[in-house]
Copies of this chain bind each other. A is one copy, B any other.
Amino acid sequence: MSDEIPEVVILRLPLYVRVLSQLESRGIEVASSQVLGDFLQISPALVRKDLHYFGRFGTQGQGYQVRQLKNELRQILGLDRTWTMALVGVGQLGTAILSYGGFQQQGFHIVAAFDADPARVGSRAGDLIIQDVRELQETVRSKGIAIGIVAVPAAAGQGVADALVASGIRGILNYAPFRVHVPPSVWVRDVDPVVVLQSITFHLKAVCGQRPVASLALT
């Protein structure tokens, strides 16, 4: 097992957990690397390589124990506990995030919400009272919040990220359409459906038979 696990492998681990949960709910006890690879749209060899980073889960020719592998991967990912989160920005997007049930179901609890707009501060959003963003640092520390969610316009994104980092937060889920700069000890992930769409269109453009990529090379 290597200490240097490529980030691309770590990004796939939650997908393994999801697929294994689906298989488990269908009563399937053992899954081959072929089956797992089909779900993740990667090769069986890559599945074996991915999982080998974390130990010898499978037995040659026998496949993986679905429930055991799921539980181990959940533990590796830190999903065997709950996580607290602070939301910054309670506009339209932030409100949708607060009302999204998927976080809580998976053990991610938004325990504080902040905004810079005095018109919003003090009003109720779900179970929370929206706080002034100037209280961010104190609240994050007193509640021991682990993860920050940035749901502010692009122009405010870096300032909010800086405030989260200053408050000691090490993980940021960034919805602002902006690449934020953080120290290497902080993990930022962007949630941006537009960026996702923009990597789909690369393929659609190609399949639609419009001018091939090769002709765009600058020589």
Binds B, one of A6-14, A26-34, A118-126, A135-143: A6-14
Q: Is the CB of B191 within 8 A of A56?
A: no
**Nearest CB of chain B from residue A157's CB, rounded to whole Å:** 11
Q: Is the CB of A201 within 8 A of B171?
A: yes
Q: Is the CB of A202 within 8 A of B77?
A: yes
A163 at the binding interface (Cβ < 8 Å)? no
The docked-state distance in angstroms from the alpha carbon of A40 to that of B147 is 21
A165 at the binding interface (Cβ < 8 Å)? no
Chain A 38-57 interface 0/1 with B at a Cβ cutoff of 8 Å (1 = within): 11100000000000001111
The docked-state distance in angstroms from the alpha carbon of A154 to that of B71 is 21
- Interface residue count for A (Cβ, 8 Å)? 73
A102 at the binding interface (Cβ < 8 Å)? yes
A128 at the binding interface (Cβ < 8 Å)? no
Q: Is the CB of A207 within 8 A of B185?
A: yes
Chain B contacts for A18, CB-based, 8 A:
177-179, 195
User: Given B17, B92, B100, which contacts A198 in the complex, CB threshold below 8 Å?
Assistant: B17
**Chain A to chain B: the 6 pairs with minimum beta-carbon distance, closest first:** A78-B205, A55-B217, A14-B198, A96-B96, A78-B201, A55-B218
Q: Interface of A with B (CB < 8 Å)? A: 1, 3, 5, 8, 10-11, 13-15, 17-19, 22, 38-40, 54-57, 72, 75-79, 83, 92-93, 96-97, 99-100, 102-103, 106, 108, 146-147, 170-173, 177-179, 181, 185, 187, 189, 191-205, 207, 210, 213-214, 216-219
